[in-house]
Amino acid sequence: MALNPDFLGRTWPATSPYRVGREKIREFADAIGDDNPLCSDVTAARAAGHPDVVAPPTFAVVVTRPALDVVLFDPDLGLDYSMVVHGEQRFRYERPIFAGDELTVESRLTDLVSRAGNDILTVAAGVRDGDDSLVVTATAVIVARGTA
Q: Is 80 exceeded by the pLDDT of residue 147?
A: no
Strand boundaries in 1-146, DSSP class E? 18-19, 84-93, 102-115, 118-128, 134-144
The band of 12, judged by pLDDT with boundaries at 50, 70 and 90, is: very high
The band of 148, judged by pLDDT with boundaries at 50, 70 and 90, is: low
The band of 146, judged by pLDDT with boundaries at 50, 70 and 90, is: confident
The total number of residues written for the chain in this structure:
148
Instruction: Compute the distance between CA of residue 113 and CA of residue 116 in angstroms, rounded to an integer.
Output: 10
Secondary structure (DSSP) of 35-60? --GGGT-HHHHHHTT-SS-B--GGGH
Q: What are phi and psi of 47, to 5 degrees?
A: -65, -25
What is the per-residue pLDDT across 87-132, written as a single tens digit (0 to 9) for each?
999 999 999 999 999 999 999 999 999 999 999 999 999 999 999 9
User: Which architecture characterizes domain 5-19+59-144 according to CATH?
Assistant: Roll (3.10)
Among 5, 7, 9, 141, which residue's Cα sits nearest to residue 84? 141
Enter the pTM of the model: 0.93
Q: What is the pLDDT of residue 1?
A: 55
Q: What is the pLDDT of residue 2?
A: 80
Q: What is the pLDDT of residue 134?
A: 98
What is the per-residue pLDDT across 34-92, written as a single tens digit (0 to 9) for each?
999 999 999 999 999 999 999 999 999 999 999 999 999 999 999 999 999 999 999 99
Q: Do residues 116 and 143 touch, judged by C-beta distance below 8 A? A: no
Instruction: Compute the distance between CA of residue 79 and CA of residue 146 in angstroms, rounded to an integer.
Output: 11
